[in-house]
Amino acid sequence: MRGTQVRAVLAGLTVGLGVSVAFTAPVLAQAKIQIGCTATSDCASAMVAVDEGIFRKHGLNVEMTPIAINSNIPAAILSNSIQVGGPTSTVFLQAVDGGLDLVAIAGASVMNQTSNTAIAAFVRNGITIKDPKDFIGKKVGAPGLNAFLHVLFVKWLVEKGVDPRSVNFVEVTFPTMSDIIKSGGVDAVLTAEPFVTRMSNAGLGSVGARYGAELGRTDPIIFYAASRDWAEKNVATVKKFREAIAEAAVIVNSDPEKASASIAKFTKQPLDLVKATPPNQSEPNLKPQNLSWWIEVMSSQKMLQSKLDTAKLVLN
């Protein structure tokens, strides 16, 4: 045989052996599930479930994948780069409205007094914000356009009588906020703890508005979502996933030491800084009606083109 033919045969044998090994592996090992989330505490239940072996106890092989911008999560799910993602309510609803067949499979985090107070528009040195109208003409960075923090801020502006179109919004990832604020690339960023404290301690600016606290909502922030096709083909896996997340949520809400360690590990934030800020409340139970307020807000902001049926958005 010629060299190329030999290589082709060897390649074929290699593939054949690989397939053989795959199908004779001990009891067909559970396929790995990749969960994609941004660098916040909202997916703390998944982080804890990985670190504390809770997923493994429930027979799941799970790995966490960092996603820079929340609005990239739906595409990552549909491309199968990740099987489960933690989109914000707003990113999820807009993706579904745009035709992506996604479904929520479990709750992650919800707004409460603590999480709402942690949300802020952080303003760089040299910029003065005393009133909502002072944001007019400013360049404001959001960790995902039409994502949670952005939509909430727009809602707050509208309630304060400010036209959101008068503000120049751009996307800025959480990890790069300090640098872009320091360089003057934006006038303010929409962020949350521990990034607020980190930038304040570095002397980069100050809080211009605690708009989350002023709105005072209790709706879902982030939940775990998958493609409907994957979820319906993996019913048993989804059940195990929900059980593991529910178990981990108890730890997130009651054991700040373990929760902070997992959050710091995934977000690559200093542990002391993470410990100084309680994680957002973990709420594994998600009901269709929990999405109604978000649909109302997004519809008022002309972000949705269709009438979404909440009953179809959450997997039974």
Segment 130-150, tens digit of pLDDT? 999 999 999 999 988 888 899
Nearest one of 129, 71, 61 to 95, comparing CA atoms: 71
Homologous superfamily (CATH) of 32-111+219-312 is Periplasmic binding protein-like II (3.40.190.10)
Provide the edge-to-edge strand list for the sheet that holds 61-66. Answer: 61-66, 32-37, 84-85, 220-227, 102-110
Report the share of the chain in percent with pLDDT over 90. Answer: 81
Cα 10 to chain centroid, rounded: 44
One DSSP character per residue, 104-162 reads EEEEEEE--HHHHHH-EEEEETT---SSGGGGTT-EEEESSTTSHHHHHHHHHHHHTT-
pLDDT of 273 reads 86
Q: Return the CATH superfamily for domain 115-215.
A: Periplasmic binding protein-like II (3.40.190.10)
The pLDDT, as a whole number, for residue 165 is 95
Does position 267 have pLDDT exceeding 60, yes or no? yes
* 283-300 tens-digit pLDDT: 999 999 999 999 999 999
- CA dist 200 and 185 (Å) reads 17
Asked if residues 120 and 114 have their Cβ atoms less than 8 Å apart, the reply is: no
314: pLDDT strictly greater than 50: yes
| Residue 145 one-letter amino acid | L
Residues of the chain with CATH 3.40.190.10: 32-111+219-312, 115-215
- Mean predicted confidence (pLDDT) in 118-141: 97
In this predicted model, what pLDDT tens digit does every residue of 184-230 receive, in sequence order? 999 999 999 889 999 999 999 999 999 999 999 999 999 999 999 99
- CA separation for the pair 35, 244 (Å, rounded): 13
Sheet with 139-142: strands ordered across: 168-171, 139-142, 188-191, 120-124, 205-209
pLDDT at site 123: 98
- The closest alpha carbon to 171, from 191, 156, 157, belongs to 191
Helices (H) and strands (E) in the chain, counts: 15, 10
> Mean pLDDT throughout 241-249?
98
Q: Give residue 25's pLDDT.
A: 36
CB of 43 closer than 8 Å to CB of 35: yes
